[in-house]
Amino acid sequence: MLSLFCILVVENFIKEVFILIDIAYAMGTGGGASGQSGGFGAFVPLILMFVIFYFLLIRPQQKKQKQHREMITNLKKGDRVMTTGGLYGRITGLTDTVVTLEIAEKVRVKVGRSNIAGSVQSDSPSATKE
């Protein structure tokens, strides 16, 4: 949800930057017929957009990927995890690429390590009991 918000904010910002650039080009330099601005000044808006994209989108995503990689490498038997498909289970076996989960008594499934979404604290997903 946060990444969608960031994308919308950046998208609106970029639209506003392009509007300001269009206004600046329409105002022109005031005195010549050439109308060409030179050199580095034309790249400033592109550099500014890249910096904004880096700090709002790229860098947070890299941090998130690094945390997920560390969590995947630190898995051990007995950890309770959730898969990307929504299965909750306890790890009963590990290899380099496959994790064996016990999702119920005597029910075990094998999933790829990359499909582990995260570790959970309790035995089952948090649900409200009536």
pLDDT for residue 36: 55
| Residue 127 maps to a domain | no
Q: Are residues 10 and 52 in the same domain?
A: yes
Q: Are residues 67 and 23 in the same domain?
A: yes
Whether residue 12 has pLDDT greater than 90: no
Q: How far is CA 55 from CA 45, 52, 66, 77, 115, in A?
A: 16, 5, 16, 37, 27
Provide the pLDDT for residue 28: 67
CB 83 within 8 A of CB 105: no
Q: Looking at the structure, do residues 51 and 105 belong to the same domain, yes or no? A: no
Same domain, yes or no: 69 and 87: no
Give the strand order in the sheet containing 107-112.
107-112, 98-104, 88-94, 80-83, 116-119
Q: Are residues 21 and 56 in the same domain?
A: yes
In a domain, 33, yes or no: no
The answer to whether the beta carbons of residues 101 and 81 sit under 8 Å apart is: yes
Whether 67 and 97 share a structural domain: no
Domain that holds residue 92: 80-119
Sequence-distant (6+) residues with CB within 8 A of 77 are 91, 92, 93, 94
**pTM score > 0.85 for this model?**
no
- Number of independent structural domains in the chain: 2
| 129 within some domain | no
> CA-to-CA distance for 5 and 25, rounded, in angstroms?
30
The pLDDT of residue 1 is: 61
